[in-house]
Amino acid sequence: MSPIESRKERPVLVFDERLDISRAKEIRDALVRALGHGGEAGIDISKVESVDLTGLQLVCSACRTASAMGGGISISGDVPDAVCAALREYGFSLRETCSVREAEKCFLGGLKC
Amino acid sequence: MNLDIEQAKAMFREEACEILAELESSLLELEKSPDNPELVDSVFRAMHTMKGTGSMFGFDRISEFTHQLETAFDLIRDGQMKVTKPMIDLTLRARDLLFKMLEDEDVSAETEGIINSIKALVPDGVVWSRPSKVKKADLDAALASREALAETSEPAAYRIRFQPSKGLMSTGTNPLFLLRELRELGDCAVIAHTEKIPLLDAIDPEACYAYWDIVLLTDKGLDAIRGVFIFVETDSKIRIEKIAEPGEIRGLDAAEKICEAIAERGDISPDELEGIISQFRLADEAPDGGAECETPEEAGIMQKDWTVASIRVPATRLDALADLVGELVTTQARLTQISALKKDPELTKIAEEVEHLTEELRDNTMSIRMLPIGTTFAKFRRLVRDLSGELGKEVRLTTEGAETELDKTVIEKLDEPLVHLIRNCIDHGIEPPEERRNAGKPERGTIILSAAHSGGDVLITIADDGRGLDFAAIRRKAVERGMIEESSELAEEEIHGLVFMPGFSTSTNVTSVSGRGVGMDVVKKRIDSLRGSVSIESKKGEGTSIILKLPLTLAIIEGLLVRLGGDVFAMPLFMVEECIELTASDSERTHGRNIVNVRGEIVPFIRLREYFFIPGERPPIEQVAIVREAERRFGIAVDTVIGEHQTVIKSLGKYYKNIEGVSGATILGDGTVALILDIPRLLKMVEFEEEAVNSEQD
């Protein structure tokens, strides 16, 4: 089974338990596919149990890519504890603004934990 | 809080002694491993701390001298100069001069000589650079090192910029673990920078693009922070700077706000950073910043009232405390005795509580006085190095049991005897390299200095693999000096004993090290004064071991009280294994010989009544306390065994100290004096008894 589902009516990437380096290339490819239709996509991380810097960097990159395409990404579903802990520990929770687009809020820093 | 300047100077002297002790250790290690950068760093840091702290407390000459030495080690750190034996020799001499400078001795001619000699070692083309003044950053670094020494619990604030290499995660390193380690050091605010993360079509998903700004409040010091990054520092950019003094910034909240402000502004100037920090700095604890300082007063740096995990206490106060505890133990014994007589339940209960508290106080006080003997052992590495160099011999010193603890008074008094014994080993024991080669031994001799607990004593052994004692030469010299008759037949132990006689030496050469025969008798006297003993084991051609046996403590022991006639005696309880009855019929069975059968084992005993000429008849049933001394068991026959007693040891004084069989005295609860039995000496009496029994049988 593919770890990521795409739903046609609104592209939502549903991540399974692992959003980490073990699936780095797979996640990157899936994000590229999801943003391929106009740069708008939702991501569902509610099932994620393991997340590391690789996973967070890829989500950040996806947000930046979507923005560059004139679109954006949005969160779908709850933010699990594992992700909240990772955001705190990796120092994303203190970020308010985007490092590159200072007028925009940081996507990861803005996730509701 | 302003420190009295003399008090501050005294504190600096104490810390400087510790730094110089560590410096010597580092230099000796560096001599063996001249390419070890950590050891070079360690020496550099010691010089740097002495420079900064010395300047802070007005030791300007120390500051200037260590600044010059620091310059030399800076060149070594930069690879412009190598660590060589002459460099180590000069730095060790410099370290010795620093000790003298701490005592305000004027050694300016010698220090100038050393610096000129070091400069002469600088290779051609290398510039000997010298920054002009002590900067506040240097004082801050010195303060940071002092903080590490003082183990303060007030955290200082550090800003850390951690930029890992892109390939960090391909090495298996997870930056999360490093961030967690930092969090273990104290309140830690972390903010990630992500501007280097490329778009999806360019990203290497397994690369590390993020970097971090961190504000850490910790009392663990700079070294602990550096230690977190030790395995990644070569491939990552790490910048650590102290941004606030201990106690100026408190709480994770403040750390987070500072971190956010720093991250928001990106690369900021020191002034901007100071502007951010000052908003969070706690009131009226800020030192002046940014100034170049001449004196501690100008710097406005005041000693703070830090809470520390350990405190320094003058040794005299510790001695006074031990004396008071001794008096308390004696008074408590009286209380126990009186409560037993009064048979008042309330009084008995209180006496028991006082006894329990006194025991605990005694044990705690004794343990405060205990120090590991490794503090003494460490000094001898330098002695062995210098002496063996002076005598043209190669000697290695190894130590075992450095963690073995003894009373501090015992350790202090051991210094001189150990120095003499080690000098003797190197001078007389260890042969020159050629002689050793011809004897089929390794050219480098070995001295093993070891310490171990043995019951209530500590055994310290100084063993060498040198030429061993020449019994024939010792005997010849003793006859020559009229110490023994030519026809005397002496046991090996007795021949050994001759070397402890005043003026005895078989050495044909008097060196600056030894040979005058004034040492070994002094060693014996010093060990005797510590209620210890010294013995020798030696084999010609193979080596010699000198064994010192010393009590753990000079002050208080658990004793067993015994009665003989109207007198009470005490013996060390830890030596007593059991007590058995001795009846008149038991004595008849052994035909009057002083031996008892203990479960099939024949154990000789000494009848103290006879030994001490106690008047009166002995009771029909006596008690024999079976004691163990080394591997021997023997008995001490007494009238009755009274019971256990905390024995505060009092010296007999110079008129009575040579009485055989008695090592001291103690004061009982009723104020009477009980003599403390010297078990090892009494054993010798028993051995004479045994010999008499054996020769009868022959």
Type of residue found at B188: C
Sheet containing A72-76: give its strands across. Answer: A12-14, A40-44, A72-76
Tell me if A61 and B210 make a contact (CB, 8 A cut-off): no
CA dihedral (B434, B439, B442, B446) positive or negative:
negative
Closest Cα partner for A102 from B163, B161, B264? B264
Tell me if B190 and A94 make a contact (CB, 8 A cut-off): yes
Looking at residue A8, its pLDDT comes to: 54
Q: Find all residues with CB under 8 Å of B548, minimum gap 6, and list them.
A: B414, B417, B459, B460, B461, B462, B527, B532, B533, B534
Looking at residue A62, its pLDDT comes to: 93
B-interface mutation test, from A25, A53, A67, A102, most B Cβ less than 10 A away: A53
Give me B362's structure tokens: 């005694």
CB of A90 within 8 Å of a chain B CB? The answer is yes
Distance, CA of B627 to CA of B560 (rounded, Å): 11
Q: Find all residues with CB under 8 Å of B524, minimum gap 6, and list them.
A: B500, B534
Looking at residue B688, its pLDDT comes to: 64
Distance, CA of B145 to CA of B156 (rounded, Å): 12
Query: Band of the pLDDT at B179, cuts 50, 70, 90?
Result: very high
Looking at residue B1, its pLDDT comes to: 37
Q: Are B266 and A100 in contact (CB under 8 A)?
A: no
Name the strand (E) or helix (H) holding B598: strand B595-598
Q: What is the mean pLDDT of residues B274-285?
A: 64
pLDDT of B385 above 70:
yes
How close, in Å, is residue A47 to chain B by CA atoms? 21
Q: How many residues does chain B have?
A: 698
Distance, CA of B392 to CA of B400 (rounded, Å): 26
Type of residue found at A38: G
In this predicted model, which residue has the larger pLDDT, B203 or B669?
B203
Looking at residue B628, its pLDDT comes to: 80
CB of A87 within 8 Å of a chain B CB? The answer is no
φ/ψ of residue B287, rounded to 5: -80, 165
CA dihedral (B417, B530, B576, B622) positive or negative:
positive
What number of other Cβ atoms are within 10 A of residue A72's Cβ? 16
Looking at residue B265, its pLDDT comes to: 67
Residues of B within 8 A of A27 (CB-CB) are: 205
Tell me if A99 and B200 make a contact (CB, 8 A cut-off): no
Tell me if A57 and B203 make a contact (CB, 8 A cut-off): yes
In this predicted model, which residue has the larger pLDDT, A85 or B304?
A85
Distance, CA of A89 to CA of B592 (rounded, Å): 85
Looking at residue B284, its pLDDT comes to: 42
Q: What is the mean pLDDT of residues B353-368?
A: 87
Q: Is B546 exposed, middle or buried (0-12, 13-18, 19+ CB in 10 A)?
A: buried
pLDDT of B2 above 50:
no
Looking at residue B546, its pLDDT comes to: 93
Q: Find all residues with CB under 8 Å of B43, minimum gap 6, and list them.
A: B23, B26, B27, B30, B73, B91
Q: Are B101 and B65 in contact (CB under 8 A)?
A: yes
| CA-based radius of gyration for chain B | 33
- B635 alpha carbon, distance to own chain's centre: 38
Q: Which residue of A has its CA nearest to B189?
A: A91
Tell me if B197 and A57 make a contact (CB, 8 A cut-off): yes
* Kind of pairing between the strands at B395-400 and B445-454: parallel
Closest Cα partner for A40 from A7, A16, A17, A18? A7
Q: Are B310 and B368 in contact (CB under 8 A)?
A: no
pLDDT of B94 above 90:
yes
Residues of B within 8 A of A33 (CB-CB) are: none
DSSP string covering A50-83, please?
EE-HHHHHHHHHHHHHHHHTT-EEEEES---HHH
Q: Are B234 and B171 in contact (CB under 8 A)?
A: no
Q: Find all residues with CB under 8 Å of B567, minimum gap 6, and list them.
A: B612, B614, B674, B675
Q: Are B402 and B372 in contact (CB under 8 A)?
A: yes
In this predicted model, which residue has the larger pLDDT, B509 or B164?
B164
In this predicted model, which residue has the larger pLDDT, B487 or B151?
B487
In this predicted model, which residue has the larger pLDDT, B49 or B182?
B182
Is residue B623 helix, strand or coil? strand
Distance, CA of B114 to CA of B108 (rounded, Å): 10
Give me B665's structure tokens: 């005295």
Query: Band of the pLDDT at B49, cuts 50, 70, 90?
Result: confident
Q: Are B8 and B303 in contact (CB under 8 A)?
A: yes
> For chain B, what is the mean pLDDT?
80
Q: Find all residues with CB under 8 Å of A20, minimum gap 6, and list them.
A: A50, A51, A52, A54, A55
Q: What is the mean pLDDT of residues B133-156?
A: 54
Is residue B230 helix, strand or coil? coil
Looking at residue B552, its pLDDT comes to: 66
Q: Is B59 exposed, middle or buried (0-12, 13-18, 19+ CB in 10 A)?
A: buried
How close, in Å, is residue B575 to chain A by CA atoms? 60
CB of A33 within 8 Å of a chain B CB? The answer is no
Looking at residue B554, its pLDDT comes to: 63
Q: What is the mean pLDDT of residues A91-113?
A: 81
CA angle B232, B202, B195 (to 5 degrees): 60
As beta bridge partners, residue B308 has: B152
Looking at residue B377, its pLDDT comes to: 81
Percent of chain B with pLDDT over 70: 83
Is residue B268 helix, strand or coil? coil
Distance, CA of B698 to CA of B88 (rounded, Å): 66
Distance, CA of B37 to CA of A33 (rounded, Å): 52
A-interface mutation test, from B203, B212, B256, B260, most A Cβ less than 10 A away: B203
Looking at residue B448, its pLDDT comes to: 93
Q: What is the dihedral of CA B568, B573, B579, B583, to 10 degrees?
A: -20
pLDDT of B302 above 60:
no
DSSP B641: E
- A109 alpha carbon, distance to own chain's centre: 12
Q: Are A89 and B176 in contact (CB under 8 A)?
A: yes
Looking at residue B294, its pLDDT comes to: 34
Q: What is the mean pLDDT of residues B95-120?
A: 90
Is residue B372 helix, strand or coil? strand
Q: What is the mean pLDDT of residues B450-472?
A: 86
Q: What is the mean pLDDT of residues A11-32?
A: 89
Looking at residue A10, its pLDDT comes to: 63
Closest Cα partner for B642 from B559, B575, B557, B556? B559
Name the strand (E) or helix (H) holding A19: strand A18-19
Tell me if B192 and A28 make a contact (CB, 8 A cut-off): no
Query: Band of the pLDDT at B144, cuts 50, 70, 90?
Result: low
* Kind of pairing between the strands at B156-163 and B543-551: unpaired
How close, in Å, is residue A9 to chain B by CA atoms? 23
Interface of B with A (CB under 8 A): 169, 174-176, 179-180, 189-195, 197-201, 203, 205-206, 208-210, 212, 214, 256, 259-260, 263-264
φ/ψ of residue B405, rounded to 5: -100, 145
CA dihedral (B250, B251, B254, B259) positive or negative:
positive
Q: Is B98 exposed, middle or buried (0-12, 13-18, 19+ CB in 10 A)?
A: buried
pLDDT tens track for A49-95: 999 999 999 999 999 999 888 888 888 888 999 999 999 999 998 88
* Kind of pairing between the strands at B621-629 and B601-607: unpaired
Looking at residue B224, its pLDDT comes to: 84
Looking at residue B669, its pLDDT comes to: 73
Closest Cα partner for B467 from B499, B418, B427? B427
Of A89, A92, A94, the CB nearest to B180: A89
φ/ψ of residue B570, rounded to 5: -125, 145
Name the strand (E) or helix (H) holding B328: helix B315-342
pLDDT tens track for B494-539: 777 777 776 665 555 544 445 544 477 778 878 877 778 888 888 8
Tell me if B194 and A28 make a contact (CB, 8 A cut-off): no
> Considering only residues 45 to 64 of chain A, which have any Cβ-Cβ distance to chain B shorter than 8 Å?
52-54, 56-58, 60-62, 64
Q: Find all residues with CB under 8 Å of B206, minimum gap 6, and list them.
A: A21, A24, A25, A54, B169, B170
